Amino acid sequence: MTVPDPTGTADPAAAAPSVPSPATRKRGGGSVLDREHRALSIGIVSVVLLIAFEATAVGTAMPVAARELDGVPLYAFAFSAYFTTSLFGMVLAGQWADRSGPLGALASGIAAFGAGLLVSGTAAAMWPFILGRAVQGLGGGLVIVALYVVVSRAYEERLRPAIMAAFSASWVIPSIVGPLGAGTVTERLGWRWVFLGIPALVLLPLVLALPAIRRLAAGPADPEAPVPGFDARRLRLALGISVGAGLLQYAGQDLRWLSVVPALAGAALLVPAVRGLLPRGTYRAARGLPSVVLLRGVAAGAFISAESFVPLMLVTQRGLSPTLAGLSLAVGGATWALGSYVQSRPRVEPYRERLMVLGMVLVAGAIAAVPSVLVPAVPVWIVGLAWGFGCFGMGMVISSTSVLLLKLSAPEEAGTNSAALQISDGLANVMLLAAGGAAFAALGGGAVGGHALAGAETVASHPVAFAAVFLPMAAVALAGAWVAARVRPAHTTG
């Protein structure tokens, strides 16, 4: 995957003298917590930690917000609005970071992320709430790409696996504590405080990270090269991919003949946009960078699509409470971090490609094993065990794609390539979720959204509908093992 340029300033010429040369960086400390990197590492990991808390907490508070705002029919758009605008933000951040460094994109992204939370938290109706989610998504897209660029600029190659492992570890506590904390806040103080409380927590990471980014990664990658302008064509393609993905999501949620119209319009926008924004050869799994980008989408799309249906299956088919169903996946946060830690060890570097193949096999096996609990004789703890192995594989694969993306990207291309990596991730999520959701509904799966809002006792879904989601996603993950075997460039030197 591609890692964007993590630094950015309003005045590249003024910032240029502060950018350390690669030789200077190699003489720096030997870890991500040495004197040179300590403030930066703590700051950017804290940003990821807060994003993780937001992701887990908002999902818990969203059903209550939709009910109070009389917006249950628009419930799905509160999620799709975030996704579609984040795709545009990713492309914008990639160009912005390559042009003038990641600092501007990161600061603007955090500001937009916080502003979106405030808009949603103060909304008096559902459409303003959705607007806030869209603003938040734009900020999230800017932030994630800018962070990758920061890593590519401020950390030498041998330190990048460690900081990527720290990013993964930042999701462990939020995945366990986030839903419980958000549920308590929602019950005691109200859902609005879940949205309004997070922006204030962003100030400390900003104070720590921004000065360090300005010192280590500000300005363009090559201060002496002409500053490139924004590529209007790529921005148009980014808008096309955002609108196209939104139309496909809408069509997938409204299974009527009339939905064919937005589906076709979405596909017409998506196909040329994807071809123009992803590396050439991505869809035929060309060796090297194209396969890295494709693998990111295959892994994330198959895993997230399957994971989205696990709690619903446990509640409707095995009678678990929503809390217990959610906690059945909690162990995955720890094993994901463990997998990311394993790939960060220097001694496994020569075997990275093999680790990625193994990781995808574990993901495929986990997804295939989960629907076994549709058989009443199979104990439900099998889900937690299988998902732990699957998350371990994902930890190795996702962090490794980030590391390889930076390794295969020239400094001046880090932003563009990082945006391509994130687009592959996000687009695969929405496409495979739409496909899985359509198959689930077509086979009598019931109202997924209605279940989430109303409670465990109201929905009875047919087991075949769940099998139609999990087994194809397991096949997609298994295909990802083949793609993982192609991430090494055809001709390598050194």
SS (H, E, C) 389-431: HHHHHHHHHHHHHHHHHHHCCCHHHHHHHHHHHHHHHHHHHHH
Spatial separation of the C-alpha atoms in residues 429 and 423, rounded to whole Å: 10
Whether 475 contacts 367, CB under 8 Å = no
Maximum alpha-carbon separation in the chain: 68
Q: How far apart are CA 414 and CA 99, in angstroms?
A: 11
Q: Summarize the confidence of residues 403-428 as an average pLDDT.
A: 83
Q: Give the total residue count for the chain.
A: 494
What mean pLDDT, rounded, does the chain reach? 78
* Between 442 and 218, the higher pLDDT residue: 442
pLDDT for 22-67, tens place per residue?
Answer: 433 444 447 888 888 888 888 888 888 888 777 777 766 776 787 7
pLDDT in tens, 342-381: 988 888 888 999 999 999 999 999 999 999 999 989 998 9
pLDDT of residue 459: 46
Determine the average pLDDT of the residues in 216-230: 64
Confidence at residue 400, expressed as pLDDT on a 0 to 100 scale:
92
Alpha-carbon distance of 298 to 427, in angstroms, equals: 10
